[in-house]
Structure 1
């Protein structure tokens, strides 16, 4: 099944286009407009990638009704071959997204106003299942939803020179929630 293997080696290092960014973001109460914002971008991405077999999912806190979140819509798109950027990256850039991250197994584009992040992963990447596991669990478990929201609120009282450091600071609570979700799922 050679067609499942990348056609070329993937990038070896993390490239943050524009460098490290400091952003002041707060947690906002759940906004009923977030699902329609996602659907607008789902169509935009689907139209841009119509020649490529893809899957598109709303992930992250804005995908969980009732969960307060940073007002950034996170989307995951799966592609057949992450190294074949010519199959997806140019058309996403032409659709108005900007490249932000290029790293092994992951690309991320976003809107110029930075309110939508599109994570591109290869089909079968375990990270996709992790995103969906967390999302689906938080949609059904009020206690873990409250725990996660509380952790985010505490972390966002701090100043973050790098939003990647903020994301890393949430990893312990996310890991604990995903462990419970796996236990619930069986």
Structure 2
């Protein structure tokens, strides 16, 4: 559910009416029962808890139209199969709002997948660079779901589409981390353990990636260990940031955004054993 905050006495009824007229109820895809709610305040709305704010600075209809034009319509068109820019994005200075975006995204995904997990066995993590305070990152929030077994593709695709996500296809058939993770680390496991499902949200303001992995996949642990290792070692965090900035610049015009991912392999080969040993000592 998208939350629109309205402050300064703006007309919430008018805003909601205009959003519905523009077709916002369908923006999160077929099957979404409620696409947005309104939060109002006479003074301020805490931006940590809303997705968009309509202020008293402009007429509400002007702001609603801009929200639709710059965010909701492109999101809706991308969900319907429209073009998505897949070029490698630049690394940005860490934004504390990424922490909120991670929590918000996990709440949405957890709610969407609740019917597939009646026992509550799935585990949900905010991973990647946006989960490490102080670390620069491409502004894509990475989330992870660790599942007891991979759900039926049709079922999970419907659930994720309802909250604005599409199943990823990758830039080419061997794109890393789309249908399976590349084997990595010291643990020896059956080959089928590396299977996964990957989803992306083409929200222009808060793009998000969700990795659905088996609970017995070493990658599920690796992502959390690496995140926590960087949090605990600012020197390694800063070094990783320098590498990311350099590689993102080198691959900024590549038509295949996976080239950036592949380029980081040498770094991960170097630090894999280090953060594994660190995690084992905790």
Task: Tell me if both proteins adopt one fold, taking TM over 0.5 as the criterion.
Answer: yes
The answer for the alignment partner of 1:36 in structure 2 is: 100
Given that 2:127 and 2:227 are in contact with CA atoms closer than 8 Å, whether structure 1 keeps it comes out as yes
Aligned to 2:201: 111
Whether the 8 Å CA contact 1:77–1:118 is kept in 2: the answer is: yes
Larger displacement relative to structure 2 (54-63 or 171-180): 171-180
Q: Which has the higher contact order (CA 8 A, sep 6+)?
A: 1
Kindly indicate whether the alpha-carbon contact (under 8 Å) linking 1:45 and 1:92 is maintained by their aligned counterparts in 2. Answer: yes
- Radius of gyration: which is bigger? 2
Map of 1:80 onto structure 2: 148
SS of the equivalent of 2:164 reads coil
Displacement, 1:64? 0.3
After TM superposition, the structure 1 stretch with the greater mean CA deviation from structure 2, 34-43 or 159-168, is 159-168
Residue 166, structure 1, aligned to residue 247, structure 2? no
Runs of 4+ aligned structure 1 residues displaced above 3 Å come to none
Deviation at 1:84, TM superposition (A): 2.4
Structure 2: runs of 5 or more not aligned: 1-80, 170-177, 181-194
User: Residue 157 of structure 1 aligns to a residue in which SS?
Assistant: helix
Residue 22 (structure 1) shift:
4.1
Tell me the TM-score normalized by structure 2: 0.56
Post-superposition Cα deviations, 1:39-82, rounded to whole Å, max 9, x if no partner, equal 11111111111121311100100000000000000001122221
Contact 2:146 2:215 in 1 (8 A): yes
- State the secondary structure of the residue aligned to 2:146: strand
Q: Alpha carbon RMSD of aligned pairs, Å?
A: 2.2
The answer to whether the 8 A contact 2:88-2:260 is kept is: no
Query: Quick check: 2:124–2:143 contact (8 Å CA) kept in 1?
Result: yes
> Within 5 A, what are the aligned runs for 1:16-165?
22-51=86-115, 52=117, 53=120, 54-82=122-150, 84-101=152-169, 103-104=179-180, 105-113=195-203, 115-158=207-250, 159-165=253-259
Please name the residue that 1:5 is paired with.
none
Instruction: Tell me the residue number matched to 2:172.
Output: none
Alpha-carbon distance in structure 2 between the residues aligned to 1:46 and 1:67: 26
Report Cα offsets for 1:114-133 as digits up to 9, x if no partner. 61000111111111111111
User: TM-score when scaled to structure 1?
Assistant: 0.83
Unaligned runs of 5+ in 1: 1-16
Question: Whole-Å Cα distance in 2 between the matches of residues 89 and 81 of structure 1?
Answer: 15
The 1-side partners of 2:99 and 2:160 are apart by 21
The structural deviation recorded for 1:140 is: 0.6
Alignment size in residue pairs: 170
Give the CA deviation at 1:83: 5.2
Q: Is the 8 A contact 2:142 2:209 kept in 1?
A: yes
**Equivalence for 1:4:** none
